[in-house]
Structure 1
């Protein structure tokens, strides 16, 4: 198989590139040259947002292209149009954020989605991803595969969510642990996303797929226990119900990454229906493996995971956590 990866040097793109190389695929990586791609690829440099930025791709032909773009949908539109006729299948890594909020528990691929346009410039994230989907469909029709990923974790994560928890737990001491302890979490290891996506290309799948683990694949308690076990930490987890955390103004998801209290947001993010993906071969590794491999990767890069400059910082400041715990807020 001949794969064109738009990006391919960070997180999702890197995982897909690595997995394709492991399968013996012929991989071309088109990127701006800011990061080194994996050994074994054909690397082409260009900025797809610039005038004539796609020119290095003018002559190639591929069985599939994978696009992870998450900003202006018009950029996806231009790439899809440029590659039409020279690529068999267009794979767009989308997001479950495209569903109209609140979606509620159990939403599947038939749920209502937000408005979007392939011609949009800068728009909010959900509308960007929906516009990207429409751009892929416009150019490739039933040869477009829409991978609606949920929360993505694993090695190479450049958003800081699991790396923050690992770093915090490794520091030990009293750790604010947002409850309930058995709160179910739904996520996808980036390598499982990559494996399913490549398998879907081989099988010629098309249309939208929710790509995330089963609801309750792990819990908040199991996640933090895995962080402690992996880092060898003797951290004291102070399990705290959502109400005092929210009353103190501590923000779920951002200040306490991954965590959302029970309610509409949690149902939307952590209670999605993945029957369709499971029926087409999705397999999800246990949380302990994701945590351990992420920690090992972090240590291999000096302990400080790289961060995307276009995304806000996540994590709770030490002084905010200490003030909350010392004040008996839990």
Structure 2
């Protein structure tokens, strides 16, 4: 039976409580917000909703269909479809803040702004670190973003992005610019997360490692252990985005963790600790992986080489976001919660991870590496 989002949160809370020392909760804001979340039912959306409700905010969601969600408080749901420009349910309404989660297309930002301009005091756009033009050098938020190379960016669709993933970063960059133009620099926050991890990771790009390390045995690990790793727990991203709205924070932010640099060896060690595993890591040089057509990021999730064209990918400066209040829960908690969530999925879903190596291919590569 499919796991509900409520159950995901319960599992995550239980695992985190067992692993992390108690922390002081952020003080609730003096005045509750009227908060509009565009796309509040995906990976980070449910975490945003629950955190916002816990802080006393009035939450409105805008989606194509009404969700069968057992929220811990009243949540208003408005129906519409940004694919077709159906935004009627947003007309004539006022909100203190809007968080735009799912948008890749600048036309979506433009169309929503035609209705929301003058009716929201603060707008947050959840973007991506994929907007950057190059990843060969460590850089901060001032680095150049990718230029759109198509004919008409406002004619692009979700299907065209799925067919040409190079458009993803280009269109996100244009969407950022559209947001600033429509809502104003002083009322717009651009949040650029890296790889989003934790319970609910349907891509398995993070979840592969908790699952694989928990299985034990010899584990093929990428590189020499010294390459950098950056990522963010979906809950850290979600909760910070609510605080950004509360404080009406403006600017552009790389939402990546951890607080201090982390190597691949430290990353796998933290995940192993979280899932209670003591695997034997067998490090495969980047050249070996390339020669054997083992792709970074997909076959070896999270990891990319820390040299060459991807030297700066996992070295994005996060000091501006941390100064604005972004904080990170321990990696071991994220790993434990992700594994607990994964174990609630149907057996056929657990049997086939959506990222990473199959056991058969990993065994063949390990044998070849030893030979």
For normalisation by structure 1, the TM-score amounts to 0.88
The answer to which of 205-214 and 30-39 deviates more is: 30-39
Match of residue 314, structure 1, among 355, 358, 370: 355
Q: How many residues align?
A: 323
Match of residue 79, structure 2, among 41, 45, 57: 45
Match of residue 281, structure 1, among 308, 319, 325: 325
Partner of 2:222: 178
Match of residue 138, structure 1, among 181, 186, 189: 181
Given that 1:8 and 1:16 are in contact with CA atoms closer than 8 Å, whether structure 2 keeps it comes out as yes
Change (3 A) 1:82 1:108: same
The answer to which of 294-303 and 4-13 deviates more is: 294-303
Match of residue 106, structure 2, among 68, 73, 86: 73
Aligned partners of 1:281 and 1:221: how far apart in 2? 27
Deviation of the 1:304 alpha carbon: 7.6
Given that 1:184 and 1:218 are in contact with CA atoms closer than 8 Å, whether structure 2 keeps it comes out as yes
Which of the pair has the greater relative contact order for Cα pairs under 8 Å at 6+ separation? Answer: 2
Alpha-carbon RMSD across the aligned residues, in angstroms, is: 2.5
Deviation of the 1:46 alpha carbon: 2.2
For normalisation by structure 2, the TM-score amounts to 0.79
1:182-208 Cα distance to aligned partner (Å, 9 max, x none): 432111222221222222222221121
Deviation of the 1:50 alpha carbon: 1.7
Partner of 1:121: 156
Aligned partners of 1:220 and 1:242: how far apart in 2? 13
Question: Which SS does the other structure have where 2:184 is aligned?
Answer: helix
Aligned partners of 1:269 and 1:36: how far apart in 2? 38
Deviation of the 1:172 alpha carbon: 2.7
Deviation of the 1:298 alpha carbon: 2.3
Partner of 1:63: 96
Match of residue 23, structure 1, among 46, 55, 58: 55
Given that 1:118 and 1:134 are in contact with CA atoms closer than 8 Å, whether structure 2 keeps it comes out as no
Change (3 A) 1:227 1:275: closer
Deviation of the 1:3 alpha carbon: 0.8
Aligned partners of 2:340 and 2:309: how far apart in 1? 31
Deviation of the 1:285 alpha carbon: 1.8
Aligned partners of 2:153 and 2:48: how far apart in 1? 24
| Structure 1 unmatched runs, 5+ | 307-311
Partner of 1:309: none
Match of residue 123, structure 2, among 70, 86, 90: 90
Deviation of the 1:248 alpha carbon: 1.1
Deviation of the 1:169 alpha carbon: 2.3
Matched, 1:100 2:133: yes
Partner of 1:208: 252
| Structure 2 unmatched runs, 5+ | 1-32, 162-166
